Amino acid sequence: MLVARRAAALNEVSVRCGPNALTVVGNVTRRADVKRAVDAALARFGHIDVWVNNAGQGITRLPSQLTDDDLDEMMAVNLKSALYGMQETLPHFMERGTGHVINVSSMLGRIPFAVFRSAYNAAKHALNALTLNFRAEVQEKRPGIQYSLVSPGVVRTEFGLNARYGGPDSRMLPGSQSAEEVAAVIAGVIDARRPDVYTLPGMAQRVAGFYGSLGGDP
């Protein structure tokens, strides 16, 4: 099942996926649209194995300049959309005793080094915490239900151009990955059900090094 706002782009992807693909035009920042997508999947396929929360939007604004609307938009797209996906699939997963949610985060949700992404960084940090909390709560009674985080770096998409207030073209930045490369990592997470995965070698060490350099112990 494929869910997105743009019907034409959605149908184009659907054709490439083959005759079994189900498309739902919707905005995942709206809980009702997410519930409608879950209901459509269950009506068509009878069950859901894996739910991938991949909606996201960037921002180009320094933290000192953020407005209420900036923060609300970043939290709606990058955090609340994932919360809706986790909550609306939960009753079905609890009934089955198994299921898998994959939340696509970002390296900026680990190391907020792009200061101009400010509220995006904050939303992805919040997504990471919420995912871990959701996992701990659900697995206390249903250990067969997994919640995974996937953290890419720069991906060669129109993400940068579509950021709030615009921004650098992600396709032109160094060290980027293709969407297909990230999708392959996500497919591997589905197979292995790993809880926390980066999409490039060395990312985990970079995160550990960053926080180690800040100190912490008295």
Question: Considering just the CA atoms, what is the radius of gyration of the chain in Å?
Answer: 18
Which residue among 120, 165, 198, 211 is the active-site one? 120
Grouping H, G, I as helix, E, B as strand and the rest as coil, residue 120 is: helix
Identity of the residue numbered 51: W
Q: Are strands 50-53 and 23-25 parallel, antiparallel or unpaired?
A: unpaired
- Structure tokens given for 152: 């890419």
CA distance 40 to 22: 8
Torsion angle, alpha carbons of 32, 36, 37, 41, to 10? 150
User: Residue 98: which of 133, 147, 54, 134 has the closest Cα?
Assistant: 147
Please indicate whether residue 120 is annotated as part of the active site. Answer: yes
What would the two tokens of residue 35 be? 């519930």
**Would you name the residues annotated as active-site residues?**
120
